[in-house]
Structures are given as C-alpha cells and as structure tokens.
C-alpha cells in the first residue's frame, strides 16, 4: 500500500524521481521545513523497501503540491496515525462532500441543546455517558466532513 500512495502522488504530479530530487533540493534551500530526498531513497520508499520518515512525507507533499499525501500517509500507513486519524470521505464529487457536510451539521444542530444540558454541570455521569458518546460520534463525522471539504478545496480551487 505504501508504494501505491506515494508513487500515485508523484505520478499525479507528473514528476519523475529525478524531478522530485531536484525540486526538493531547491525547496530545501528556500525553506527550513523541507528536507531533500535522493531519487534512490525515493525509489526505496516507493517500493516499500524503506519506511518513509514523517519529514519526508511532508517534503514530498510540498514538492507534489498534494496536501492529501500527508493525510493518506498518517491515516493509512503510520503505525500511530492509522489508529487515531479518522478516514476522510474520498472522491472528487463536491456535491456529495457538500451534502455529507450539511447532513452532519444538521445532525449536530439537533443535538446542540442536549449537549449544553449534558455538560452544564461540568461532568458526564453514568446516565449521561451513552448520549454524550452519541453526540461525540456526530462531532467526529462533522470533523471528518470538514476535513474532506478542506482537502477537496486544496486540490481543486486554485488561487
């Protein structure tokens, strides 16, 4: 899976491994947050022979102009991230993303007053716990929908 995510991002950017090496060298001179990666190292990462460092993923994401690479790596490949980073809605369909986002907002609005009542004493007792977790699930879906929309915008709306 590692190879398909990282290689696919490079291919979407229309770059060869040598193009990536040159661009990262140039970016690393301009910015402190980018590290250079040799084409040989990139080849090992893409083949799955070497695990990428988080800094390398960030650098590749910057070189490709693809913010979803960081997210895909964290949510699918990183040992820690894949357990805590929520999966986003996939796809390029703005209409579907919008409807999902609006649906989660509407769902939360229905629970907003109940959340206020549940939390007014600063504690969640055992009788409130089930309802509180239901509200947290709605908030998690809303957060995922917001992130999906943000990623769509970064990839489709040009400045």
Q: Ramachandran region of residue 38, left (φ > 0), alpha (ψ -120 to 50) or beta?
A: beta
Q: What is the pLDDT of residue 123?
A: 95
Note the maximum CA span of the chain. Answer: 60
CA distance 53 to 50: 9
pLDDT higher than 90, residue 157: no
Higher model confidence: residue 104 or residue 152? 104
One-character DSSP codes across 121-153: TS---TTTHHHHHHHHHHHHHHHHHHHHHHHHH
Q: Which whole number is the average pLDDT over 32-49?
A: 93
On the question of pLDDT at 70 being above 80, the answer is yes
pLDDT at 86 over 70: no
The pTM score is 0.62
pLDDT in tens, 1-20: 555 789 999 998 999 999 99
Assess whether pLDDT exceeds 60 at residue 152. yes
């Amino acid at each position: 899976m590692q190879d398909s995510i990282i290689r696919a991002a490079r291919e979407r950017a229309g770059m060869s491994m040598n193009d990536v090496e040159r661009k990262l060298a140039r970016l690393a001179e301009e910015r402190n947050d980018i590290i250079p990666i040799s084409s040989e190292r990139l080849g090992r990462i893409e083949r799955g022979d070497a695990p990428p460092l988080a800094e390398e993923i960030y650098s590749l994401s910057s070189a490709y102009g693809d913010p979803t690479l960081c997210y895909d790596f964290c949510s699918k490949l990183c040992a820690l991230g894949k357990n805590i980073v929520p999966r986003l809605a996939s796809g390029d369909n703005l209409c579907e993303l919008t409807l999902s986002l609006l649906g989660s907002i509407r769902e939360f609005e229905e629970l907003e007053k109940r959340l206020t009542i549940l939390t007014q004493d600063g504690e969640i007792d055992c009788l409130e716990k089930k309802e509180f977790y239901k509200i947290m699930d709605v908030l998690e879906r809303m957060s995922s929908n917001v992130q999906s929309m943000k990623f769509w915008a970064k990839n489709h709306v040009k400045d």
